[in-house]
Amino acid sequence: MARQRRLQGQSDTKLDKGTNSSSSNGSNSTNNKSMKTTSLLSYWKQIIGCIVLGIAVSLGYMGYLETRVNTPFDDKKMVVRSGLEVSEQFWGSYRPGLYFGFKTRDPASLVTGLMWYFPKRLRPGGDGIRHWCEQGDGLEKYGWLQHDGHSFGVQQIIDGAHVFDTSFVKRLGGAHGGDWTARISVDLKPNLKDSRTQNEEISLLWYTALDEETKGHISLTNSATKLTGIKGATSGLGEFTIKLTNHSGVVLHESYLSTVAPGLHLLKETVVASLRLAQDKPTAPRRIVLAGELLPEAGIEKAEPNFVAIQLTGKVPFTLDVVFESGSFGTRQDTLVGETYTKALAWHQARFTQRFEDTFGLQKRGYGPKEIGFAQAALSNMVGGIGYFFGTSKVQSFYTKEPVHYWRAPLYTAVPSRSFFPRGFLWDEGFHGFLISTWDLDLELDIISHWFDLMNVEGWIPREQILGVEALAKIPEEFVVQRNTNANPPTFFLTLQYILRKYYDKLSEGRLATLERLYPRLQAWFAWFNTTQKGSVPGSYRWRGRDPLTNRELNPKTLTSGLDDYPRASHPTENEYHIDLYCWIAIAADTLAKLANLLDRDGYKYEQTAEYLKDNVLMDNLHWSNYASRYSDYGYHTDSVKLKRPKPLPRSQNQNLEMIRVTLKNPEYRLVDSTFGYVSLFPFLLQLVDPDSLKLGQILDDLRNPDLIWTKYGLRSLSKNSPLYMKRNTEHDPPYWRGQIWININFLAVRSLHYYANTEGPYREKSEKIYQELRANIINNVMSQYFKTGYLWEQYNDETGEGSGCRPFTGWTALTVMLMGEHY
Ligand SMILES: *[C@@H]1O[C@H](CO)[C@@H](O)[C@H](O)[C@H]1NC(C)=O
Ligand SMILES: *[C@@H]1O[C@H](CO)[C@@H](O)[C@H](O)[C@H]1NC(C)=O
């Protein structure tokens, strides 16, 4: 994860400004004589002609280079079935950035969802209306408790004194993805029920909206005086109705809004602008209502609404059923509402519980109901957080003057955090793949397929995917552009390694066909890494994207590595090289070789590269420090740097200049071996260290050392005695990967301990012992923080174990479930 993303330095790539015009100066001379006979005029004509041709060729060539960054990889598409061809996956909770909302896997989907507020606590500007998952809402807890990624989900939300249970069940039928029903129950917290003196009013808004791409229409259905719901038709959904009924509780009043919203990112603002005060009779209480029809007149005809919302205000406790019915579902026996819904939901829940136990075996391992509840929630937020996005990234290459648009494309992906990072991240997704493939292999293959369709002709995949207005609205403009010089750890190779190891026997024909289509893309991806991220010394690799010119940062960040501010060489140069990237490439080659073998392709060169890089002699020569006895990066480095506030100039207005970095001792080329932490562990984390290497023994000792990275809560990212342990990178950037405990790397560590504990060698027992300890520490802390705070967190404090960073973070932190079930 990268919280503070900055535009990348553009100056760090040696560019091959390849021109294909080579001119030879000296002429060799069999033609000399005839040259002389050429008239001066035609001589000049020729020259001018050559120049014009040269310019045209090079313009054409430049034009060609300019378009490469956003030209799709030219081969069979990965996603072969989409939209209604996969009708069971058409509808879903594919808007993870919302507390509760649905859309379809259709580029131009209708969207629908919930907003709510307590009228008594609504403040000017709409403060108090809940819609998008915002940390600022300060909810005590929210997240899926159960969700199977297909057909149902159960979520709990705690907002102040109130508990919201939101759930949905899908029912297939007809030609447009079938029906679903969503239920929202609001009640006081159990411990407040006795003291209940008044039933507070709650307003629930259910809306549907179309974006400009969606062909179709929506409107209200009126039955006599009561509003009952919304009806409409779109190209993807055919005709449909949405009916609202109160399953229990009394509706005090209802109102609606039918209007034109300026965009899907402004739905809440549109609601806020339309709220009014109304009174039934002079003596009646004044109520906050929606304004009704607010349609601009376009000429004589009124514009068509693209946003219809119904507000029901009731007294807590209150339960609302929202029933979506598809017009083409002709064989429907009964409506999925009321008791029918209650039963259907219970059936799904029981099935889920069984499948969860079959998959992870937690009961079998002695976990109790509360712990299993935690694990179910972690998994459910991962699969319930899967979104469907459609749009274009903005990308830039050396050859494009300005950022340009990537092609418009869908992305089906899990997200790291529903509040803070509700979009796709390349290296996170490889980690997510461990859990998702364990739960549902085909779901994971579908996700991988979508990601690899985003590969361009160069073999590059942008690392952060900001597709569509809802995603874009969550990120500052300056962080949007993705550069094609920049990598991100190719973690999908790890997912594939896991799938090949674990599900080799389950690779049916259909799954193999997916891997067949994937193979050429993986080859291109590998080639892109192996060439563009090459280091200056044979066998070495270097992350691009570090800023060599900045004097703001204590240690220029390496966002591309995924480990943002983890300290590297203090002065970035083209001669540095990075041990983590070396390991990623080794694993990539190895996995590709295994896949080639499975698919009966010629994987010889991948085998060769894997063998070459896995050779511990090469790795040790490049990266092992005999002095510090650890693996390290290499580069132009000094530890003697610090942030200092410059002295203001005399009589200067600005007395408070930003701190800058000062270098107290000249850097020199060396291993960066005073630093110890996650990066030093990579040869172990990716299982490249030979099981009988003495270095493995050293790594295990260092890993278990509380003075270095061992804590009761997991491994801290940077050892306490590293020079930049918990140091700020600028005065505005607090430490991020400089001590905090991250679960993705801890997962890799546990997985490796398990591997070395089960592999012949002198360190089996030691590995086994540490394996048990580390596994227990992580599970206990993530779980106890969840019970204490209601959330899984982005990272954990290495002194106290407390959650920090953003929340909920049910991306890779949810890998805790893998540790509980011992799936590696
Ligand atoms: C809502 O539900 C309750 C109980 O289920 C019922 O008594 C009431 O009439 C319903 N309708 C409205 C509009 O409140
Ligand atoms: C990767 O790059 C190295 C060095 O440039 C080269 O020798 C090797 O053959 C490449 N591997 C593959 C599989 O292309």
Sequential DSSP letters for 536-590: SSTT-B------SS-SS-SS---GGGT-TT----SB--TT-B-HHHHHHHHHHHH
Separation of CA 311 and ligand 1 centre (Å): 16
> In ligand 1, which atom is closest to the CA atom of 246?
1
Q: Does 606 contact ligand 2 (Cβ within 6 A)? A: yes
Task: Check residue 14 and give its pLDDT.
Answer: 30
Contact 699, 767 (CB under 8 A): no
Cis ω on the peptide bond leading into residue 808 (within 30° of 0)? yes
663 forms beta bridges with 641
> 294 vs 824, which has greater pLDDT?
824
Separation of CA 248 and ligand 1 centre (Å): 6
Task: Check residue 56 and give its pLDDT.
Answer: 66
State pLDDT tens for residues 363-379: 999 999 999 999 999 99
Average pLDDT for 662-672:
97
Residue 317: nearest ligand to its CA?
1
Task: Check residue 584 and give its pLDDT.
Answer: 98
Asked if pLDDT for residue 219 goes beyond 80, the answer is yes
Asked if pLDDT for residue 6 goes beyond 80, the answer is no
Separation of CA 560 and ligand 2 centre (Å): 21
Asked if pLDDT for residue 652 goes beyond 80, the answer is no
Q: What are phi and psi of 219, to 5 degrees?
A: -155, 175
> 297 vs 636, which has greater pLDDT?
636
Q: Whose CA is nearest to atom 11 of ligand 2?
A: 609
> In ligand 1, which atom is closest to the CA atom of 226?
13
Helix (H, G, I), strand (E, B) or coil at 483: strand
Average pLDDT for 478-494:
93
Summary mean pLDDT of the chain: 91
State pLDDT tens for residues 392-442: 999 999 999 899 999 999 999 999 999 999 999 999 999 999 999 999 999
Task: Check residue 688 and give its pLDDT.
Answer: 98
Question: Alpha helix (H) ranges present in 599-690?
Answer: 604-614, 616-623, 678-685
Mutate to test the pocket of ligand 2, among 609, 612, 614, 615 (most ligand atoms within 8 A of CB): 609
pTM here is 0.92
State pLDDT tens for residues 576-600: 999 999 999 999 999 999 999 999 9
Asked if pLDDT for residue 258 goes beyond 50, the answer is yes
Task: Check residue 36 and give its pLDDT.
Answer: 44
Separation of CA 245 and ligand 1 centre (Å): 9
Asked if pLDDT for residue 24 goes beyond 70, the answer is no
Task: Check residue 354 and give its pLDDT.
Answer: 98
Separation of CA 686 and ligand 2 centre (Å): 20
Q: Whose CA is nearest to atom 4 of ligand 1?
A: 248
State pLDDT tens for residues 802-812: 999 999 999 99
> In ligand 1, which atom is closest to the CA atom of 250?
14
Contact 97, 134 (CB under 8 A): no
- State how far the Cα of 212 lies from the Cα of 262, in Å rounded to an integer: 9
Asked if pLDDT for residue 31 goes beyond 50, the answer is no
Asked if pLDDT for residue 32 goes beyond 70, the answer is no
Residue 609: nearest ligand to its CA?
2
Mutate to test the pocket of ligand 1, among 199, 250, 315 (most ligand atoms within 8 A of CB): 250
Task: Check residue 553 and give its pLDDT.
Answer: 96
Separation of CA 608 and ligand 2 centre (Å): 9
> 27 vs 94, which has greater pLDDT?
94
- State how far the Cα of 459 lies from the Cα of 75, in Å rounded to an integer: 12
Contact 810, 792 (CB under 8 A): yes
Q: Does 618 contact ligand 2 (Cβ within 6 A)? A: no
Q: Whose CA is nearest to atom 7 of ligand 2?
A: 609
Vertex 342, ends 341 and 348: CA angle to 5°? Answer: 85
Q: Does 609 contact ligand 2 (Cβ within 6 A)? A: yes
Task: Check residue 27 and give its pLDDT.
Answer: 35
State pLDDT tens for residues 141-159: 999 999 999 999 999 999 9
Task: Check residue 803 and give its pLDDT.
Answer: 98
Q: Does 172 contact ligand 1 (Cβ within 6 A)? A: no
Domains belonging to the chain, first-starting first, are 53-85+387-414+424-530 (no CATH), 97-359+366-379 (2.70.98.110), 533-557+565-824 (1.50.10.10)
State pLDDT tens for residues 605-632: 999 999 999 999 999 999 999 999 999 9
State pLDDT tens for residues 513-529: 999 999 999 999 999 99
- Which active-site residues does the annotation give? 564, 794
- Of the given ranges (19-28, 623-632, 771-780), which has the lowest mean pLDDT? 19-28
- Of the given ranges (257-266, 519-528, 554-563, 652-661), which has the lowest mean pLDDT? 652-661
Task: Check residue 736 and give its pLDDT.
Answer: 97
Task: Check residue 651 and give its pLDDT.
Answer: 75
Q: Does 339 contact ligand 1 (Cβ within 6 A)? A: no
